[in-house]
Amino acid sequence: MKTIHKMLFTTAVASLGVVACKTDKKPEEKVQAIVLENMDTSVQPTDDFFRYVNGSWVDKTEIPADETSWGGFNQLRKTTTKDVLTILNKAIKEGNFEKIKDAEGNEIDSDQEKAVNYYETIMDTVARNKAGKAPVQPFLQKIEEIKNLNDVQTYITNMAPYGGAGFYGFGVFNDLKNSSMNAGYMGAGGLGLSRDYYVDEKVKDKLEKYEVFVANMLQEFGDDEATAKKNAATIVAFEKSLAEPMMTKEERRDTRKMYNPMTVAELSELAPAIDWQAHLEGIGVESIEKVIVTDPKYFKAMNEVLKNAPIEDVKLVLRWNAINNSLGLLSTDLEKANWEFYSKEMRGAKQQKPRNERALANLNGAIGEALGKLYVDEKFPPEAKQKAKEMIDNVMLGFEKRIAQLPWMSAETKEKALEKLHKLTVKIAYPDKWKDYTTLQVKGLEDGGTYFDNAVNVRKWNFEKDMAKLGKEVDRTEWGMSPQTVNAYFNPVNNEIVFPAAILQPPFYNYKADEAVNYGGIGAVIGHEISHSFDDSGARFDGDGNLKNWWTEEDSEKFKEAGSKLIKQFSDIVAIDSMNLNGEFTLGENIGDLGGVQAAYEGLQIFLEKNGRPENIDGYTPEQRFFLSWATIWRTKVRDEALKNQIMTDPHAPGKYRAYMPLKNVDAFYEAFDVKEGDNMYLKPEDRVRIW
């Protein structure tokens, strides 16, 4: 689940009407959606709910060697990957792709064939190994020719269409305060590690190992051992000087701090070492009234660093960025070296994923919708969309009911909250309008295509596509995930929640399972995404997706107080080696989980009221099965290094804690399992966090 900063609301009556008329069909045979063999009933649910639901599964499950964690999400992703590879290999074998014509009438490859071309060039490791480091050499040569800061700026400008060169970059996105229009943003360039690894002493050992990795890669690209070590130390120190003034990850969650519109003249005053007018013109921006600077403090500090640093040090950083950003696109030995540091060292991976799975992941990240068409045709017929609507409607109604009954919120703010909820857009399964890849060139092997060239073409195509949006109206039909992605997201500037086809499968959703299990699974996921519209970050946006305060001052303070209590609940948890969870960083996701469970539970009650209560199944009431299902989808085992990395970098709490921590704040859970004072799962009523 994620929030993207980059539904049609239908009534429950309408959806129920469609379902009710299908009385001529026999009811589907129900399946055992709660696997009793995975439970540990020697543990009381009132003492350790995660263990009660998942204990036997934890005991008998080994994390696969090519995974850093394992659970419901991972299993579904593995299954989906297998399905998509089968579909892809079938398309390759049959090879009967439809030819289409571009705007000039020229015959070109279809989107599906471009997906196959991209995949096959990744898989052609013979050609990749033969090419070795050669594909990136022209970029390294350009860096070698740099003589002064003006040359540095020219290089960064020229590299913008190819993924950037570091230090700073321009992007196009909804204007946060006029979300129907696209605006230009200037942000910091990426570093080799996330910011905290440069500034947090607790992970000093990882920074030291990163420096060793940098030195090893510089040796691969021609430095002798002594020079490589010296250069690596310079690079890491330089990156640290850029990392320190950056916003913290907690600060970045407050979107208001990232909205700093400036004229080009004002940007030039902030960071005069850069000729910003020349940069903008160089990337194709003819004129612009304002540039939204996401981190002014960083730009001010970067200006001093660039102004005072020796040009050879700046060139070293540019060289490292070019190398590091290319490692996964080059030979298999360099790809593996990249994996050994970022996956094995940083996250505890034991073994690389199979080559075809790695290739598929890269294809999905590059042109996922082109492949999505094949996936949807095979796995998700149009009528399957309708099956998800009734549950979404009921969860939406459940959320509406909870807003209306909130004791801490004034009528004035409730009215605005309900207005926002009713404007929420829901996207299900796959786009109504697919991305147009007509102008993207992806050459196949027979035409001399290579992975590196195709990847560069995709980057350039995406850059030009984004630049063409600048100053124009936002296309709200676009999706931020492909249909074969096992995830879901909320986009605050479009006020939309999106559920790709791949997540609408077991263990999250199974149309043969009883409704309580589905509401505890995909229903709570739906509720989670709705809740993101009202978490501490999403709640700063109105129903039209604009960064605009719609809260009374008193209600805003009460909301912050409730959030502070939730922050403390999670921050008090020591997860591993004296590392506590970061309740402030994970607050948005934790509000999403808490609100999602509450809304889905209300949705289940709406369903049961209209359709009648079923008999208990395996001795469990519908309410109990709802909570069992929630804990089931968050069953997770994770390697130690991956857990540490997650705490440092991921706004989601680890799955184990998501399985039970929200429930400690849900009164209905206490009723379902008779949780009493003295039980480990018990919180006093006054200590329970009540937000949505």
Read off the pLDDT of residues 469-514 as tens digits, 9 standing for 90 and up.
999 999 999 999 999 999 999 999 999 999 999 998 888 888 778 8
Of 574, 572, 598, whose CA–CA distance to 584 is shortest?
572
Taking the C-alpha atoms of residue 676 and residue 613, their distance in angstroms, rounded to an integer, is 26
Q: Is residue 615 part of a domain?
A: yes
Q: Is residue 42 part of a domain?
A: yes
Section 648-666 average pLDDT: 97
Residue 387 pLDDT class (50, 70, 90 cuts): low
Checking if the pLDDT of 9 tops 90, the result is no
Between CA 107 and CA 101 the distance in angstroms is: 4
pLDDT of residue 8 exceeding 60, the answer is no
* pLDDT value of position 175: 98
Say yes or no: 281 and 394 in one domain: no
Nearest to 156 by CA among 363, 374, 302, 353: 302
CA-to-CA distance for 451 and 456, rounded, in angstroms?
A: 9
- Tens digits of per-residue pLDDT, 427-480? 999 998 999 999 999 999 999 999 999 999 999 999 999 999 999 999 999 999
pLDDT greater than 70 at residue 199: yes
In sequence order, which ranges of 41-185 are alpha helices (DSSP H)?
49-60, 72-94, 111-123, 125-131, 137-144, 149-159
Domain boundary among 273, 298, 323: 323
CA 375 to chain centre: 21
Same domain, 166 and 276: yes
Asked if residues 301 and 245 have their Cβ atoms less than 8 Å apart, the reply is yes
Q: Provide the β-strand partners of residue 547.
A: 541
Residue 168 lies in domain: 137-204+239-323
490 lies in the same domain as 396: yes
- pLDDT band with cut points at 50, 70 and 90 for residue 31: low
Indicate whether 14 and 150 sit together in one domain: no
**Are residue 49 and residue 184 in the same domain, yes or no?**
no
What are residue 426's DSSP bridge partners?
497
Q: What is the pLDDT of residue 2?
A: 59
Runs of H (alpha helix) within 612-692: 622-633, 640-649, 655-660, 667-673
Classified as helix, coil or strand, 364 is helix
- Please state the rounded mean pLDDT for residues 95-121: 82
Whether residues 501 and 575 fall in one domain: yes
- What pLDDT score was predicted for residue 29? 52
Q: Are residues 295 and 395 in the same domain?
A: no
Tokens of residue 43, six digits: 């543990």
Q: Does 88 map to a domain?
A: no
Q: What percent of the chain has pLDDT over 70?
A: 94
8 A C-beta contact, residue 623 and residue 514: no
Task: Check whether residue 672 and residue 525 sit in a common domain.
Answer: yes
The CATH number for 398's domain is 3.40.390.10
Q: Rounded CA gap, 250 and 501, in Å?
A: 32
One domain, residues 503 and 645: yes
Through-space distance between the first and last CA atoms of the chain, rounded to whole angstroms: 18
What mean pLDDT comes out for the span 675-692?
97
Residue 472 lies in a domain: no
| The predicted structure's pLDDT at residue 104 | 66
Both 573 and 659 in one domain: the answer is yes
**Which residue has 């805003």 as its token pair?**
556
Is 190 in the same domain as 309?
yes
Q: Could you tell me if residue 229 is inside a domain?
A: no
pLDDT at 677: 97
Cα→Cα distances 463→274, 335, 486, Å: 21, 25, 26
Mean pLDDT of 635-662: 96
* Mean per-residue pLDDT, 603-629: 95
Q: Is residue 404 part of a domain?
A: yes
Boundary of a domain, candidates 323, 349, 364: 323
Residues 668 and 559 in one domain: yes
Please say whether the beta carbons of 159 and 139 come within 8 A.
yes
Instruction: Say how far apart CA 614 and CA 627 lie, in whole Å.
Output: 16
Number of structural domains in the chain:
2
Domain harbouring 311, CATH code: 1.10.1380.10
pLDDT at 102: 64
Radius of gyration from C-alpha coordinates of the chain: 26
pLDDT for res 374:
87
- Does any domain span residue 616? yes
Residue listed under structure tokens 């049961």: 608
User: What pLDDT score does 15 carry?
Assistant: 24
Where a domain ends, among 306, 323, 340?
323
Assigned domain for 259 exists: yes
Tell me what pLDDT residue 378 has.
Answer: 84
Q: What is the per-residue pLDDT for 511?
A: 75
Q: For the chain, how long is the longest CA-to-CA vector?
A: 79
Give the mean model confidence (pLDDT) for residues 638-642. 96
